């Protein structure tokens, strides 16, 4: 058959890439086009996918699996997973770096897999991108795997530097390779690594700072070591800071004329610049106003007016940013108000804290006055909102408190009621019971009757217990808790809480189950037999040294009959076994034979290696002495290493010692050293110790602080500033600064040569990082000198030179040193005082305020201004003799009124009975006279008398007044012995015995005092006759218009006086001035001139006694009594 001319044969060809895609760089969200063309037969299908990575390593090698996630402004969270979406386990050998890569310190056969997948999670986009799985093949080497010393995988090299801002987070990595797996340690080379400010993660491969601060700046060293060696990497961290506020100005109300100080202080690295604006306009661009100044960042407005009301902005900025704060200043006058309610009652229990509210409002801000005596108690604090806070309340704090606004009459009262605290009298006990029994806990408490009835809450191991009615497990009956059928799960601590509406008390007990006592056992070395036991305690004794006696080595359960013990090398042991249960322990078994272990190299090194250098140029290395039982062999010693901290440092110096201390000399002042101590014995050395940082001895600082300045804040406070010293000149740990302040007397005193002698001094210590301090408590109007020193543990450095001298402003004076009250009359009070001990300026005068003391405490305050500063006494007139007064006396300077001295007093004093009592005895009466105490007028008292002959009862007179000066006690029995006593407030202040004149009556009864007695009728007749005579004389004198003759009156009186017996008798001569009913003052003056002065040598003393009116036209009748000494 013939073939056709053309034949088509289809040949198959494998695919061939004819056009390769090119590598391109993409920015943001641009679209990209990757061209990939291929040929083949049949035509190939094109599939675009990431190239699969395969890695093949030998066992023991290190490897890095890279992730390389797509870039994002917010870094993604990386997760390494397998194909089943299970996380790859991370440990000290396998670590994930901050770059997302997976690091293997060395691989093992277990790492062999083909599905290591990197998943990048973009949180803001809510997207997870998965990379192509990576295949890792680990081949098993036929040779022995060789160990390798550690090497850094991330970061590379020996040093890294990080710059960060305050408040940000920082992570330092230390990923290493090596075999065996290295261990990683972090130290701070220039100080102590703070455990509270750092967090270690990923098996110590990551050191994280979550909120870094300036104090975290410094050098950090990561050390990785294994049995083959050590590698280190040093990080230098420098921390700068955007501006942040250290003191912000506060919006406030101010009254016209006040001075406003807006403190605006910011800090940062570098130090920020502070600028002020007013209503958005810079202060420098506003018209200059001498009342407005800016000093050290503070805006000061003096003598503010209403137009100063504005918004003031303070701005601080440095190269890292800018911050701004707005402050609202309102210049306005508002009367003071007390916003808290009056008459509030605050109830607390003993030991609690009470807050008495007194919220005020006004402009200028009202000043709350709760009394200096209250604030002297350290438990009492006056809060800025006006509230009075009292801590640790006691019953002595109970009472009425008054909150008042200074310089006003506004006040409120608050009552503090203190109740007894709740006390548990019968707490639950610790109970030991057998299973199945019922126990009862009792919780009896004493609660104040004013508190609400208490609620008792029971807890077991912190969990609330509820009454179980179904099981009858827990039953509550008043203060009792009944636990039925006690089992193992019922063991624990039971707490009762007694809860009232104000406080709570709690007490705890416990339940412990116990079993039967167990039998003894036999023991042979480390094997024993026993029927039953809760546990066995294996004890040992070191027979080379009997210092410790028998000690517990191990405890095993009661079912065991033997034990394997881990023993210490180079120790001789004896063993014994003791059986233990909840009831107690058995007698020990017979000790075993002696067993000695062979020596070997030490297992451990000494702990707590440190430097305790105290002397300059000396490094003292010390550590905790090791127990003899861990020497592990003979010839035990400590090998001490030291070298200076300079990078990796020079070679180590070493020496050996048997004492737990080693001293290195000639090392300089306060130099940093790396130190370590290793244990060695005859068999070898202990493990490689970790170095720590120590310092040689300190010396006193070399230099003084510079740029010392003082800013006067007010008359008693200053702000001291200084520049920090160079740390190298401190020659030790900088402990802080000391401010030495010396007072050289008042500005107004001139004492010649002694003017420069210091009167008092004070020293204030600050912290190491402080560069300013506000000092208070200075004396106003005084000369001061100030120096600043730096100190370390060795002492202080030189003071700043020259000393800074300054003077404080004039201030309000202290209280006058004394205030004495004197009453010359019933309506007058004289105040005597001495000037203030601390005038605090030029004394201008005094301010006296006084008011009557009334229950409502709202009596008006009288004010006396004294402009003469030399005056030391003042007499006040027209006072109420029946009232008590409170006086406040203050000194005055140009700075204002000072603190007052307070006294209370009255023109008439209460409570002092009369003295100098005299008496004259008659047959049936006795005349009594006395001298009232100075300023003690109108004091009431009584006279009690007892007839000792009749054996009757005590009788007493009516109530007498000390102003009477005379009294006649009548109704006595002639010839009888009487006992008299004067009583005041039921207390006897004077007593005596008398005998009446005349013959004793056979009857011993008291004479009748009724109206039918003869003496009473005679007395009435005499009084009537005398009235008639006086009436006749009165009418005669009125008709004549004449006056009494002083000489005739005295003559009559003298004649009557001479008729007295040789005994001292009391004579009463009545004198009535009936002329035109003269006043008491006129009659007393006339009597003094014409009567007493007529013959003063014949008089002993004169007394005035008021009697009822006898003359119809006379208001008062006076009886003048005289005592005359008989020859």
CB 141 within 8 A of CB 108: no
CB 839 within 8 A of CB 749: no
How do residues 853-878 score in pLDDT, each as one tens digit?
A: 888 777 889 999 999 999 999 999 98
Please list, in sequence order, all residues whose beta carbon lies within 8 angstroms of the beta carbon of residue 1002, skipping any fewer than 6 positions away.
none
Mean pLDDT of the chain: 82
- The number of beta carbons lying within 10 Å of the beta carbon of residue 349 is 22
In CATH, what number is assigned to the domain containing residue 307?
Answer: 2.60.40.10
Return the HEC string of 303-350.
CCCHHHCEEEEEEEEECCEEEEEEEEEEECCEEEEECCCCCEEEEEEC
Q: How far apart are CA 474 and CA 488, in angstroms?
A: 15
Return the HEC string of 196-254.
CCCEEECCCCEEEECCCCHHHCEEEEEEEEECCEEEEEEEEEEEEEEEEEEECCCCEEE
**Whether residue 327 sits in one domain with residue 347:** no
Q: Give the model's pLDDT for residue 547.
A: 60
Q: How far apart are CA 897 and CA 318, in angstroms?
A: 47
DSSP 996: -
In the predicted model, what is the mean pLDDT of residues 411-438? 91
The three-state secondary structure class of 607 is coil
Report CA dihedral (1084, 1090, 1093, 1094) to the nearest 10 degrees.
-150
Q: How far apart are CA 905 and CA 896, in angstroms?
A: 27
Q: Which two tokens stand for residue 635?
A: 């010839």
Cα dihedral sign for 905, 906, 912, 914? positive
**Whether residue 719 sits in one domain with residue 786:** yes
Is 676 inside any structural domain? yes
Q: How many domains does the chain have?
A: 8
Among 883, 906, 929, the domain boundary falls at 906
**Whether residue 1127 sits in one domain with residue 1029:** yes
The three-state secondary structure class of 1096 is helix
CB 691 within 8 A of CB 681: no
Q: Could you give the C-alpha distances from 679 to 263, 609, 656, 692, 914, in angstroms and in order?
A: 60, 12, 9, 16, 95
Least confident of 703-712, 737-746, 905-914, 957-966: 905-914
Q: Which two tokens stand for residue 667?
A: 């090392």
**Whether residue 589 sits in one domain with residue 526:** yes
Q: Which two tokens stand for residue 452?
A: 């609400």
More confident of the two residues 786 and 1090: 786
CB 750 within 8 A of CB 756: no
Is 494 inside any structural domain? yes
More confident of the two residues 385 and 639: 639
**Whether residue 765 sits in one domain with residue 716:** yes
Helix H segments across 716-763? Answer: 727-730
Please list, in sequence order, all residues whose beta carbon lies within 8 angstroms of the beta carbon of residue 927, skipping any fewer than 6 positions away.
919, 920, 966, 967, 968, 969, 1066
**Whether residue 785 sits in one domain with residue 724:** yes
Among 568, 596, 624, the domain boundary falls at 596
Say yes or no to pLDDT of 625 above 50. Answer: yes
pLDDT band at 50 (very low <50, low <70, confident <90, very high): low
Vertex 727 angle, CA 725 and 728, to 5° = 115
Among 871, 906, 941, the domain boundary falls at 906
Domain span at residue 289? 248-332
Closest CA relative to residue 980, chosen from 953, 956, 1007, 1008: 956
In the predicted model, what is the mean pLDDT of residues 738-764? 78
CB 360 within 8 A of CB 337: yes
Q: At what angle do helices 1046-1058 and 1080-1090 cross, to 10 degrees?
A: 70
Is 667 inside any structural domain? yes
Q: Which two tokens stand for residue 475?
A: 């039953």
Q: How far apart are CA 528 and CA 900, in angstroms?
A: 89
Q: Could you give the C-alpha distances from 425 to 279, 428, 477, 507, in angstroms and in order?
A: 67, 10, 17, 10
DSSP 1024: H
Q: How far apart are CA 183 and CA 808, in angstroms?
A: 63
Q: How far apart are CA 845 and CA 1027, in angstroms?
A: 61
**Whether residue 378 sits in one domain with residue 475:** no
Q: What percent of the chain has pLDDT over 70?
A: 83
Q: Which two tokens stand for residue 1118?
A: 């006076």
**Whether residue 614 sits in one domain with residue 586:** no
Say yes or no to pLDDT of 649 above 60. Answer: no
Is 943 inside any structural domain? no
Is 999 inside any structural domain? no
Question: Which residues, listed in sequence order, are joined to residue 233 by a DSSP beta bridge?
Answer: 222
**Whether residue 458 sits in one domain with residue 476:** yes
Say yes or no to pLDDT of 1081 above 70. Answer: no
Q: Give the model's pLDDT for residue 471.
A: 67
- The number of beta carbons lying within 10 Å of the beta carbon of residue 954 is 10
**Whether residue 897 sits in one domain with residue 824:** yes
Least confident of 478-492, 518-532, 614-628, 1032-1046: 518-532
Q: Give the model's pLDDT for residue 110.
A: 92
Is 85 inside any structural domain? no
In the predicted model, what is the mean pLDDT of residues 266-290? 89
Q: Could you give the C-alpha distances from 306 to 291, 309, 333, in angstroms and in order?
A: 14, 6, 9
Least confident of 80-84, 532-536, 581-585: 532-536
The three-state secondary structure class of 874 is strand
Question: What are the start-end ranges of the E strands in 342-473?
Answer: 344-349, 354-356, 360-363, 368-369, 380-382, 388-390, 399-405, 411-419, 423-426, 430-433, 439-442, 444-446, 455-460, 463-464
The three-state secondary structure class of 1092 is helix
How do residues 841-852 score in pLDDT, each as one tens digit?
A: 999 999 999 999
In the predicted model, what is the mean pLDDT of residues 585-609? 89
Kindly give the pairing relationship between strand 782-792 and strand 795-796.
antiparallel
Question: Which residues, listed in sequence order, are joined to residue 64 by a DSSP beta bridge?
Answer: 103
Q: Tokens 């509406």 — which residue?
A: 501
Least confident of 32-41, 132-141, 218-227, 732-741: 32-41
Say yes or no to pLDDT of 1100 above 60. Answer: no
Q: How far apart are CA 670 and CA 661, in angstroms?
A: 19
Least confident of 77-86, 468-477, 617-626: 468-477
Kindly give the pairing relationship between strand 736-746 and strand 782-792.
antiparallel
Q: Is the peptide bond before 802 cis (omega within 30 degrees of 0)?
A: yes
In the predicted model, what is the mean pLDDT of residues 123-146? 85
DSSP 1019: H
**Whether residue 686 sits in one domain with residue 733:** no
Q: Which two tokens stand for residue 805?
A: 């001298």
Is 939 inside any structural domain? no
Closest CA relative to residue 840, chosen from 862, 823, 816, 864: 816
Please list, in sequence order, all residues whose beta carbon lies within 8 angstroms of the beta carbon of residue 1001, skipping any fewer than 6 positions away.
973, 974, 975
Helix H segments across 61-116? Answer: none
Is 304 inside any structural domain? yes
Kindly give the pairing relationship between strand 229-247 and strand 159-165.
parallel
Q: Give the model's pLDDT for residue 1092.
A: 33
Least confident of 372-381, 875-884, 1102-1111: 1102-1111
More confident of the two residues 971 and 1068: 971
CB 859 within 8 A of CB 883: no
Question: Which residues, listed in sequence order, are joined to residue 433 by a DSSP beta bridge?
Answer: 513
Q: Is the peptide bond before 270 cis (omega within 30 degrees of 0)?
A: yes
Q: How far apart are CA 986 and CA 794, in angstroms?
A: 71
- 668 phi and psi, to 5 degrees? 85, 175
Q: What percent of the chain has pLDDT over 90?
A: 46
Say yes or no to pLDDT of 679 above 80. Answer: yes
**Whether residue 795 sits in one domain with residue 717:** yes
Q: How far apart are CA 1010 and CA 549, in angstroms?
A: 105
Say yes or no to pLDDT of 369 above 80. Answer: no
Q: Which two tokens stand for residue 66?
A: 């890279």
- 1047 phi and psi, to 5 degrees? -70, -40
Q: How far apart are CA 731 and CA 701, in angstroms?
A: 6
Cα dihedral sign for 49, 50, 51, 55? negative
């Amino acid at each position: 058959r013939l073939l056709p001319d053309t034949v088509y044969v289809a040949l198959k060809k494998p695919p061939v890439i004819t056009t390769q895609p090119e590598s391109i760089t993409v920015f943001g969200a641009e679209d990209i086009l990757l061209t990939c063309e291929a040929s083949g037969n049949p035509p190939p299908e094109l599939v675009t996918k990431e190239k699969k990575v395969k890695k093949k390593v030998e066992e023991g090698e290190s490897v890095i699996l890279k992730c390389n996630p797509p870039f994002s402004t917010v870094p993604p969270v990386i997760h390494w997973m397998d194909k089943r979406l299970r996380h790859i386990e991370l440990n000290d050998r396998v670590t994930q770096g901050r770059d997302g890569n997976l690091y293997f310190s060395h691989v093992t056969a277990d790492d062999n897999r083909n599905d290591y997948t990197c998943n990048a999670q973009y949180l803001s986009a809510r997207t997870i991108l998965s990379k192509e799985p990576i295949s890792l093949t680990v081949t098993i080497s036929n040779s022995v795997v060789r160990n390798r010393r550690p090497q850094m995988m991330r970061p590379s090299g020996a040093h890294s530097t990080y710059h960060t801002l305050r408040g940000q987070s920082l992570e330092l990595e230390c990923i290493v390779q090596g075999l065996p797996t290295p261990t990683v340690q972090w130290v701070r080379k220039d100080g102590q690594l703070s455990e509270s400010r750092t967090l270690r993660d990923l098996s110590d491969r990551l050191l994280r700072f979550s909120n870094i601060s300036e104090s975290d700046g410094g050098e950090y060293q990561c050390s990785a070591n294994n049995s083959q060696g050590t590698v280190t990497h040093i990080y230098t961290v420098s921390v700068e800071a955007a501006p942040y506020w250290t003191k912000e100005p506060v919006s406030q109300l101010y009254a016209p004329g006040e001075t406003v100080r807006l403190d605006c202080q910011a800090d940062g690295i570098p130090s920020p610049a502070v600028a002020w604006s007013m209503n958005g306009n810079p202060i420098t661009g506003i018209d200059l106003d001498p009342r407005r100044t800016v000093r050290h960042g503070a805006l000061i407005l003096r003598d503010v007016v209403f137009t100063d009301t504005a918004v003031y902005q303070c701005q601080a900025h440095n190269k890292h940013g800018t911050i701004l704060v707005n402050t609202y200043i309102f210049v306005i006058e508002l009367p003071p108000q007390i916003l808290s309610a009056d008459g509030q009652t605050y109830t607390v229990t003993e030991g609690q804290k009470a807050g008495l509210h007194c919220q005020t409002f006004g402009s200028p801000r009202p000043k709350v006055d709760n009394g200096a005596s209250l604030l002297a108690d350290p438990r009492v604090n006056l809060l800025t909102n006006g509230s009075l806070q009292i801590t640790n309340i006691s019953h002595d704090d109970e009472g009425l408190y008054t909150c008042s606004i200074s310089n006003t009459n506004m006040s409120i009262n608050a009552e503090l009621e203190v109740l007894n605290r709740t006390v548990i009298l019968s707490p639950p006990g610790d109970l030991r019971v057998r299973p199945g029994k019922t126990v009862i806990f009792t919780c009896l408490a004493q609660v104040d009757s004013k508190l609400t009835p208490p609620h008792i809450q029971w807890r077991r191991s912190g969990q609330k217990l509820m009454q179980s009615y179904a099981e009858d497990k827990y039953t509550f009956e008043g203060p009792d808790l009944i636990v039925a059928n006690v089992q193992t799960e019922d063991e624990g601590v039971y707490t009762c809480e007694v809860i009232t509406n104000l406080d709570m008390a709690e007490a705890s007990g416990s339940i412990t189950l116990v079993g039967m006592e167990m039998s003894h056992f036999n023991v042979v070395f480390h094997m024993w037999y026993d029927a039953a036991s809760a546990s066995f305690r294996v004890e040992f004794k070191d027979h080379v040294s009997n210092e410790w006696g028998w000690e517990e080595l191990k405890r095993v359960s009661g079912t065991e009959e033997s034990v394997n013990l881990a023993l210490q090398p180079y120790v001789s042991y004896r063993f014994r076994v003791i059986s233990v249960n909840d009831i107690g322990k058995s007698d020990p078994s017979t000790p075993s034979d002696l067993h000695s272990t062979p020596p070997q190299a030490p297992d451990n090194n000494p702990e707590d290696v440190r430097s305790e250098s105290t002397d300059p140029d000396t490094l003292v290395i010390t550590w905790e002495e090791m127990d003899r039982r861990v020497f592990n062999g003979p010839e035990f010693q400590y090998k001490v290493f030291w070298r200076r901290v300079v990078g990796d440092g020079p070679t180590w110096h070493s020496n050996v010692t048997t004492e737990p201390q080693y001293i290195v000399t000639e090392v300089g002042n306060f130099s940093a050293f790396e130190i370590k101590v290793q244990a060695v014995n005859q068999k070898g050395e202990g493990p490689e110790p970790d170095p720590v940082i120590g310092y040689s001895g300190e010396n006193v600082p070399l230099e003084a602080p510079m740029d010392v300045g003082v800013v006067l804040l007010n008359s008693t406070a200053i702000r001291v500033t200084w520049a920090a010293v160079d740390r190298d000149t401190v020659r030790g740990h900088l402990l802080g600064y000391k401010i030495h302040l010396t007072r050289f007397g008042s500005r107004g005193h001139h004492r010649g040569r002694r003017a420069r002698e210091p009167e008092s001094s004070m020293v204030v210590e600050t912290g190491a990082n402080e560069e300013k301090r506000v000092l208070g408590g200075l004396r106003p109007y005084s000369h001061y000198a100030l120096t600043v020193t730096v100190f370390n543990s060795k002492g202080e450095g030189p003071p700043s030179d020259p000393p800074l001298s300054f003077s404080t402003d004039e201030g309000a004076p202290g209280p006058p040193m004394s205030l004495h009250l004197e009453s010359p009359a019933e309506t007058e009070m004289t105040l005597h005082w001495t000037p203030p001990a601390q005038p605090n300026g030029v004394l201008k005068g005094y301010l006296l305020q006084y008011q009557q003391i009334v229950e409502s405490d709202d009596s008006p305050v009288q004010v006396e201004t004294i402009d003469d500063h030399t005056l030391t006494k003042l007499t006040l007139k027209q006072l109420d003799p029946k009232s008590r007064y409170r006086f406040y006396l203050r000194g005055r300077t140009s700075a204002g009124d000072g603190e007052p001295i307070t006294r209370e007093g009255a023109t008439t004093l209460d409570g002092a009975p009369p003295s100098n009592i005299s008496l004259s005895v008659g047959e049936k009466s006795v005349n009594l006279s006395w001298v009232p105490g100075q300023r003690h007028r109108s004091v009431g008292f009584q006279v009690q008398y007892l007839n000792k002959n009749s054996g009757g009862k005590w009788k007493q007179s009516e109530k007498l007044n000390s102003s009477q000066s005379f009294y006649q006690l009548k109704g006595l029995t002639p010839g009888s012995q009487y006992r008299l006593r004067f009583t005041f407030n039921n207390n006897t202040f004077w007593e005596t015995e008398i005998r009446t004149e005349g013959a004793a009556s056979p009857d011993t009864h008291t004479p009748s005092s009724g109206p039918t007695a003869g003496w009473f009728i005679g007395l009435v007749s005499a009084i009537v006759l005398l009235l008639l005579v006086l009436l006749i004389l009165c009418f005669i004198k009125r008709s004549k218009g004449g006056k009494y003759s002083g000489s005739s009156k005295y003559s009559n009186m003298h004649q009557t006086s001479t008729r007295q017996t040789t005994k001292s008798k009391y004579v009463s001569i009545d004198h009535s001035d009936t002329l035109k009913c003269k006043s008491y003052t006129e009659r007393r003056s006339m009597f003094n001139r014409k009567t007493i002065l007529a013959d003063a040598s014949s008089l002993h003393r004169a007394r005035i006694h008021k009697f009822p009116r006898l003359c119809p036209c006379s208001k008062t009748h006076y009886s003048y009594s005289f005592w005359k000494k008989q020859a």
